Amino acid sequence: MCGIFGAIGWEHLNSEGVYSSLKERGPDSHGIWSNTKNGLCCTFLHTRLAIQDRTHLGHQPMVSENKDLVIVFNGEIYNKTELRNGLQLNGYKFKSNSDTEVLLKGFEYWKDKLWGKLNGIFAIACWEISSQTLTLVRDRFGVKPLLLYRTGNKCAFSSELSALLASEVMKEIRVNSSAIESYSLWGAVASPNTILKQVNMIEAGKITKKHSNGEWSINDFVESKNEPGLHNKNWTLSNAVNAIENKLIEAIKQQSIGDYPIGIFLSGGIDSGLIASILNEIQEENIKSVSIGFKGLSGVKDELKLAEKTAKTIGIDHISIKVSSRDLDENFDLFLNSIDQPSIDGFNSFLVAKAAKSEGMRVCFSGLGADEVFGGYSHMQDTNLYSANKKRILKFNGLSKSLRDYHAEQRLMKLNLNTRTNIEPTMHAISKLELCGYLQDTLLRDSDAVTMAQGLELRVPFLDQQLVSLARSIPSSIHNEIGPKSILVKIAKQRLPAEIVNSPKQGFNLALADWIVNNNRFSPDRIYSLINKGLRAQDVRISKKSFYASWLILKFSHRWSPYWRWIVLGEWLALHSESLDI
């Protein structure tokens, strides 16, 4: 994993500022490449977290032998050996064992057909010098971020907003009113927007190009053909369980690469438990798992005991971290510095990632994506839930318990997914919605930000492309035959303690209510003042009524998330006041 940055059209950049902002993403080394042709300057910068081929041969930016192509890459390509073998059969020779060199030579040979062949998580930029063409791509589910700033015929891209700001290429930096609107509703900025008006997120699973004439184009990946007969089955729950388990094992094996020991974020549920079980079978070295719970904080039942039972049953080394009010105080500003743009989520993932880093982990697996792919949410079983929620949308900007469902309905409308008329609408239509909505904009974005801030690589095998494709080929009725996530539950019954399998879904949450209410820093008058000051110069407004309603909800019902979004927004604006000319 790495941090990447590039700029086209600027002769002078604050490269040291870029390196500094991306250093945590790539603490092992950094590099720069620059070229000017026909008066147009292109500069690529890279910071490296070395996981595969840690020698200098994997150094980036990487330039082709004919000096006409340069690439920067953030991520992991899990089928690099297969691609490398195919390229060698076509006469290509390799100097390194890095997946970056496979991408470089793969783009030379296959051009844009390469991207559909990739199995992995990636954000990639290629600059073709002779044709002066920029190609930007992200993996299909948006696991790795890639941001784009455009002005006239100039553009800059990066893994983080912070690097774009530090580069000093951006002028008149303004907050995006559409981003504030979506954030106030959902606690996250809906892509392709970012919190800054001038910056957008590159679309996942798309090829974005800047051509020499200054025009831009966006196209889908040309996907490779699926495995023969993969989806031509008369599905039953039994054969679906066998097929998914085999494909999950294969995905985890492919992702168990690199030169560092492997760890896992372990909850009390079946998703991370299944990954831990499979990892323990296929890895010769001991697997480390980490979980966090609470000490002296009321309001939420943590999953420490369940996670510890899973680890003991599987036989892996487990670390339990208990978080106190003091720990929350000490980590809040560190969390703010790591998230790049405001989010209602991520503080929990930050604490887990920090604990993993303190235990010497550098590569960790996560169960992210299992609920979205295999039907883990209640509204994936109830086809009428979206229509029902229309009547329950809050007058206070979505501060209801059905906030996620409101989010989902809005995205359904955008995707033209009609749950009443589709033949197979229930789980798969909503799965598509969740994969490109809540998962991408909140869970994956936040997890990437907070893990990379710790120099930690996160792997998500439930989002393996072939596994997702296989799961989506199985009818919704099979996925829900014995209840939510029927297929994974059946696999888990063979691998995990009954107590884990039968435990009701909790989801990881933080016990923040008492901490917020008793902390003067988070008083409503102060937080509203920070927001008002931060947004006044940007001509963006939030509802005062909505804001203070969220405080009352926190104070009298201990539901902290509606008010938490305003805390994070206010503190983020204060932290970036200089950059935003506040």
Q: Where are the domains of the chain?
A: 2-220, 237-379+445-502, 513-575
Query: Based on the number of CB atoms within 10 Å of its own CB, is 496 exposed (0-12), middle (13-18) or buried (19 or more)?
Result: buried
Q: Which residue has the higher pLDDT, 493 or 171?
A: 493
What SS3 state is found at 41? strand
Task: Supply the pLDDT for residue 410.
Answer: 47
In degrees, rounded to 5, the angle at the alpha carbon of residue 396 between the alpha carbons of residues 337 and 402 is 80
From 35-49, 200-214, 242-256, 528-542, the region with the lowest mean pLDDT: 528-542
Task: Supply the pLDDT for residue 506.
Answer: 64
The closest of 427, 417, 467, 432 to 231, measured between CA atoms, is 467
Q: What does the DSSP assignment read for 340-375?
A: SS--SS-HHHHHHHHHHHHTT--EEE--TTHHHHHT
Query: Based on the number of CB atoms within 10 Å of its own CB, is 57 exposed (0-12), middle (13-18) or buried (19 or more)?
Result: middle
> Per-residue pLDDT averaged across 146-168, rounded?
96
From 41-55, 184-198, 324-338, 473-487, the region with the lowest mean pLDDT: 41-55
Residue 535 has pLDDT above 80, yes or no: yes
- Measured distance CA(519)–CA(551) in Å, rounded: 13
> Contact, 357 vs 455, CB < 8 A?
yes
* Cis peptide bond upstream of 524, omega within 30: no
pLDDT digits (tens, 9 = 90+) for 90-110: 999 999 889 999 999 999 999
Diameter over CA atoms, the chain: 70
pLDDT-derived band at 226 (thresholds 50, 70, 90) equals low
pLDDT-derived band at 582 (thresholds 50, 70, 90) equals low
What value does the CA radius of gyration of the chain take, rounded to a whole number of Å?
A: 23
> Per-residue pLDDT averaged across 202-216, rounded?
95
> Contact, 129 vs 69, CB < 8 A?
yes
Residue 82 has pLDDT above 80, yes or no: yes
pLDDT-derived band at 389 (thresholds 50, 70, 90) equals very low
Instruction: Please name every residue paired with 365 in a beta bridge, in sequence order, or none if there are none.
Output: 264, 459
* Cis peptide bond upstream of 192, omega within 30: yes
Which helix (H) or strand (E) element contains residue 217?
Answer: strand 216-220
Instruction: Please name every residue paired with 34 in a beta bridge, in sequence order, or none if there are none.
Output: 43
Which helix (H) or strand (E) element contains residue 126?
Answer: strand 120-128
Residue 545 has pLDDT above 50, yes or no: yes
- Measured distance CA(352)–CA(360) in Å, rounded: 13
* DSSP 8-class letter at 168: T
pLDDT, averaged across the chain: 87
Query: Based on the number of CB atoms within 10 Å of its own CB, is 155 exposed (0-12), middle (13-18) or buried (19 or more)?
Result: buried
Q: Which residue has the higher pLDDT, 562 or 301?
A: 562
Task: Supply the pLDDT for residue 394.
Answer: 33
Q: What is the pTM of this model?
A: 0.90
Which helix (H) or strand (E) element contains residue 339?
Answer: none
Residue 228 has pLDDT above 60, yes or no: no
Task: Supply the pLDDT for residue 245.
Answer: 97
pLDDT-derived band at 230 (thresholds 50, 70, 90) equals low
Task: Supply the pLDDT for residue 557.
Answer: 87
From 167-181, 188-202, 226-240, 343-357, the region with the lowest mean pLDDT: 226-240
When the candidates are 3.90.180.10, 3.30.830.10, 3.40.50.620, 3.30.70.20, the CATH number that belongs to 237-379+445-502 is: 3.40.50.620
Residue 413 has pLDDT above 60, yes or no: no
Q: Which residue has the higher pLDDT, 109 or 298?
A: 109
Percent of the chain with pLDDT over 70: 88
- Measured distance CA(281)–CA(122) in Å, rounded: 27
What SS3 state is found at 39? coil
pLDDT digits (tens, 9 = 90+) for 42-60: 999 999 877 766 677 778 9
CATH topology classification for 2-220: Glutamine Phosphoribosylpyrophosphate, subunit 1, domain 1 (3.60.20)
Q: If you search the block for the tokens 């998962």, which residue do you land on?
A: 439
> Per-residue pLDDT averaged across 112-134, rounded?
97
